[in-house]
Amino acid sequence: MAAETRWSFGVEPLAQTLEVAALARSVAGLVLSLEAPHPAVERLAAALRNAERELLQLAPADPKPRIGADAPASRRVYIDHSRDIGAYNPCFPTYQVHVNGDRASGSVRFPLVYEGPPGIVHGGFLALFFDAVVQHHNCDVGLAGKTTSLTVRYRRPTPLLSELRFALERSVADGRITSTAQLSSDAGVLCEAEVRAVAGDRAALPAVSPRRSGA
């Protein structure tokens, strides 16, 4: 997809942010799987406590994002949420997607941190996944907007730690975007979703402040 047609809003994440997100997701899953306390976890907790104290001194005083022409400089930078949010935020799933016009397909593997019932992905994370990947699709084809409704139909339990496939299809009419999505395994369809969004106008988006020089 040509870069000029892609919809984005916000700044790129730092390389350190990407590395920490992947590590945080992996380490959290490993800690969840432990049978007993271990010195490695205490060392990790101590390192995190130290990092928290140091980072609190660096973080902006105002947690609101610097969005809009008159946003105070004291606010934080806003990272682009149009696609691949999981790459920099471990609370979001990661996935691979191929966009081909109004259709898209890809794969996803849910790690332990997304567990609900034993060995099963929590249904709320599936809704989050559908919303994120549909938004990614919409942004890649150049017409996106705010989600107005999201309906998920659960057909089978979705297993953790398994390579799963998904397919998306979208249509646009009367200023609205309607996307249908399906997540499958070798056993068949696991869940389906319908996501509706209002078609936005990129020219109407507010200004996003870049990172401050020297920050």
Q: Over the stretch 162-208, which tens digit does the pLDDT of each residue have?
A: 999 999 999 999 999 999 999 999 999 999 999 999 999 988 889 99
Residue 94 tokens, joined:
């990661």
pLDDT of residue 80: 96
Distance CA 52, CA 212 (A): 22
> What Å distances lie between residue 192 and 155, 184, 188, CA to CA?
8, 9, 11
Query: Strands, E, within the chain: which ranges?
Result: 62-65, 75-76, 95-100, 103-108, 147-154, 164-173, 176-185, 188-198
Q: Over the stretch 42-82, which tens digit does the pLDDT of each residue have?
A: 999 999 999 999 999 999 989 999 999 899 989 999 999 99
Domain locations in the chain as residue ranges: 3-204
pLDDT of residue 213: 78
* CATH number, domain 3-204, options 3.10.129.10, 3.40.50.720, 3.40.50.11540, 3.30.470.30: 3.10.129.10
